[in-house]
Amino acid sequence: MVTKNDVEKVRTFALVGHGDTGKTSLTEAMLFDANMTTRLGKTEQGNTVTDYDPKEIKRGITINSSLAYLDWKDSTFNIIDTPGYLDFIIDTKSSLRVVDCALIVVCGVSGVEVQTEKVWDYAEEFQLPRIFFINKMDRERADFNAASEKIVENFGHNAVPVQLPIGTEENFQGIIDLLKMKAYYFQTDKDGKVQIEEKDIPDDLKENANNQHQKMVEIVAEYNDEILMKYLDGEGLTEEEILTCMKGAMVEKKIFPILCGSATKNIGIELLLDFIKDYFPNPVELPDITVKDLKENKEIQLKRTVDDSPFSALVFKTIADPYVGNLTYFRVFTGELSSDSQVYNSSQDVENKVGKIFRMQGKEQSSVSKVSAGSIGAIAKLKKTNTGDTLCDKEFPIEFVRVDYPEPIMRLAITPKSKGDEDKLSIALSRIQEEEPTIQIIRDEDTGETIIAGMGESHLDVVIETMEKKFGVEVEKNTPKVGYKETIRAKVQAEGKYKKQSGGRGQYGHCFVEFEPLERGKGFEFVDKIVGGVIPKQYRPAVEKGIIESMQKGVLAGYPTIDIRATLYDGSYHTVDSSEMAFKVAGSLAFKKGAAMAEPVLLEPIYNLEVIVPKDYMGDIIGDLNSKRGKIMGMDEGVKGRQIIKAQVPLAEMFRYSIDLRSITQGRGTFTMKFSHYEEVPSQIAQEIIEKAKQESESES
């Protein structure tokens, strides 16, 4: 049985932030100082615990969220090291969904960056307590004051330093703890082992330290009325009172402490570990969780109690492996799960046998007999279990709220390099979708292409590399074709006559059809206006079928024809030679002749585009959209001073828009797009498309 005492010793948190702020190096330093490893791994050497994937080592960045754990003093820390680059940031969002606190890592040189804002928004969405750690304080141009001021400017005055650096850049040597009002100096040997010396705060730093201490205490004291009155009466607060208020204020998101250090120099890491132990909330100190009770079909609040609670967990990551099956990562919220038991997946309504349960240290697995509330575990070979699914007790079926993922923003057309690899490609794509919830696979009926859609160029490159390395499928990648359509602008009448005589029974079909344009989006309409028996009833559907089949390859550039009405009004037949096939051919001939006479035009898909950007980029975005033949439909005020630009843009101009937008806004812009309608292509562009289609047709023949 899980006891309250067990859970109170658990701290489960994610390291999040912009790319290259040192999250993986910070994880390394934590593991090293807790004696979980014997050396400080370095990302540039490819020997860290959490960046173990060859794709990560090759690029020198975190691509996948990775797990680690450590024991610090009498507590257990479950850590998720997350990606910081935009293309992989959704993995970070999934991770934040299952932790109890966010440790936001900020570079002491660069300060607040684009993804700092994004991870803050995700932490807000999931109502997580959070702290800031200003890293790389030993680097040239590192500036704690500038970085902390930017944090306050972006995230509010409740972000407050609880530490100050001693020394700057290469002379960074220690930290002032504003909670204890003590100075700590660090001496690190060549192996990374650190010696800490506690001293009084240096005289030249005392005034600033006292001012920052007072500011911190004022914010902390506001959490508790009794302690606030004591503080306002001029009485000093004890360390215990500050600790109690700090922890409570953090849980209620009323204070966001700012700490500092250097992960690669191992300065300040032990103080950070102590802070996490003392101030991060344990699982039962957090508010109840909203879940769906599947028996009652209603939302309920799930209490984070531990004693005798039914088991519940949320799957936040799936790793597909072609040899050993999926590895499912999950966070336990209530109860416990034992190995060699059964678990119910309420999202898929399937029960699974649980074999071994693993605790993950990067890629290293160690089996455990059970996992309890607050823990993160992994199980291999769970059937029909994907990211976002709920695991629970079948007698108490619930479902956690799923993470809301953004729509993919970049598309590639892919085909297997080797003929006969279509089945292998299909299997690989299916497995990758289980692992990557933001990947979409689209079979484009108009162009016949297989489209893979993801969060950006790097994201799709990694997915394709995974297909090649993990599943052995090499693919060709291309910009997707545009699914153009054709239509007509004039009303015409056309004759279709098919007559064939070659000894014996011949073929005869003869029809007159009127073709006219319909409103955009109306599709195809067939009208039978035959009077009397000039075409017997049984042959008339064949005329319609012949027209529909011919419409699949239009007369201009071979694209499907849409939005026309075909009215069959006259014709003739032969009592012996007429047949359904003959009238089908006659209908086809009538369409080809009629469409060519009816002022045919090319249509292109138009998409509704919504772009959200900071106000400063409005002019550049509108100018860029105008250059893409876009029509600005309106502008609205968004949250946090952002602007929402609504436009309609041809799909042909949008395949690389994610790259363009990222470049224009330094990664601060986002967009969504959705199909709206078809619209006539401007004549000059249409002529180019038609010529290209003719050349392709000639080369194929």
Tokens 């503080």 belong to: 231
In the chain, what is the greatest distance between 2 CA atoms, to the nearest angstrom? 117
Rounded to the nearest angstrom, the gap between the alpha carbon of residue 438 and the centroid of all alpha carbons in its chain is 5
Question: How is residue 643 written in tokens?
Answer: 């602007």
Phi, psi of 695 (to 5 degrees): -65, -40
Between the alpha carbon of residue 231 and those of residues 65, 102, 182, 220, 640, the distances in Å are 43, 30, 21, 10, 34
Residue range(s) in the chain whose domain bears CATH number 3.30.70.240: 603-685
Range 411-478 classified under CATH 1.25.40.10: no
Q: For residue 157, which amino acid is it?
A: H
Using DSSP, state whether 492 is helix, strand or coil.
strand
Q: Do the Cβ atoms of 272 and 259 come closer than 8 Å?
A: yes
The structure tokens listed for 264 are: 């690669």
Helix H, strand E, coil C: the string for 135-164 is ECCCCCCCCHHHHHHHHHHHHCCCEEECEE
CA 30 to chain centre: 28
CATH architecture of 603-685: 2-Layer Sandwich (3.30)
* 575, 652 contact by CB (below 8 A): no
Q: pTM (2 decimals)? A: 0.85
458 Cβ contact partners less than 8 Å away, ≥ 6 residues apart:
85, 87, 88
Distance of alpha carbon 218 from alpha carbon 206, whole angstroms: 18
- Scored b (16 or more CB within 10 A) or e, 527-547 reads eeebeeeebeeebbebbbbbb
**Structure tokens that stand for 94 in this block:** 């999934």
Q: What stretches in the chain show pLDDT beneath 50?
A: 1-2
Q: How many CB atoms lie within 10 A of CB 362?
A: 19
- CATH 3.40.50.300 location in the chain: 4-201+255-285
| Domain limits, CATH 2.40.30.10, in the chain | 289-400
d(CA 128, CA 133): 16
Q: What would the pLDDT profile of 303-359 be if each residue is shown by its tens digit? A: 887 677 899 999 999 987 766 678 999 999 999 999 989 999 999 999 999 999 999
Classify domain 289-400 at the CATH superfamily level: Translation factors (2.40.30.10)
3-state secondary structure of 223: coil
Is 485-598 CATH 3.30.230.10?
Answer: yes
Give me the pLDDT at residue 651, please: 94
- Rounded-to-integer distance, Cα 93 and Cα 403, Å: 8
Q: Where in the chain is the domain with CATH 3.30.70.870?
A: 411-478
Contacts for 148-153: CB closer than 8 Å, 24+ residues apart: 148/258, 150/111, 150/112, 151/106, 151/111, 151/112, 151/258, 153/112
**8 A C-beta contact, residue 661 and residue 654:** no
What does the pLDDT read at residue 408? 86
Structure-block tokens of residue 459 = 């994201």
Rounded CA gap, 266 and 194, in Å?
Answer: 7
How crowded is residue 239: how many other Cβ atoms within 10 Å of its Cβ? 10
CA 26 – CA 15 distance, rounded (Å): 9
Beta bridge partners of 513: 494, 568
Q: Tally the C-alpha atoms within 13 A of residue 103's C-alpha that lie toward its C-beta.
A: 32
Our measurement of the distance from residue 80's CA atom to the centroid of its chain's CA atoms, rounded to an integer in Å, reads 17
* Helix or strand holding residue 226 (H, E): helix 225-232
Task: Specify which residues 328 forms β-bridges with.
Answer: 318, 379
Q: Which amino acid, residue 575?
A: T
pLDDT digits (tens, 9 = 90+) for 230-287: 877 777 777 888 888 888 899 999 999 999 999 999 999 999 999 999 999 999 889 8
How many residues can be counted in the chain? 701
Question: Alpha carbon of 19 to those of 16, 50, 130: distances in Å?
Answer: 9, 15, 18
- Residue 300's DSSP bridge partners are 291
Find the angle CA(411)-CA(321)-CA(371) to the nearest 5 degrees: 115
236 forms beta bridges with none
* 452: helix, strand or coil: strand
Written as six digits, the tokens of 377 are: 């575990």
Instruction: Please give the CATH topology (third level) of the domain spanning 4-201+255-285.
Output: Rossmann fold (3.40.50)
Among residues 146, 192, 14, 4, the alpha carbon closest in space to that of 89 is found at 14
Alpha-carbon torsion angle 636, 642, 643, 649, nearest 10: -120
Strands (DSSP E) contained in 401-537 are: 410-416, 440-443, 450-454, 475-478, 485-488, 492-500, 507-517, 524-528
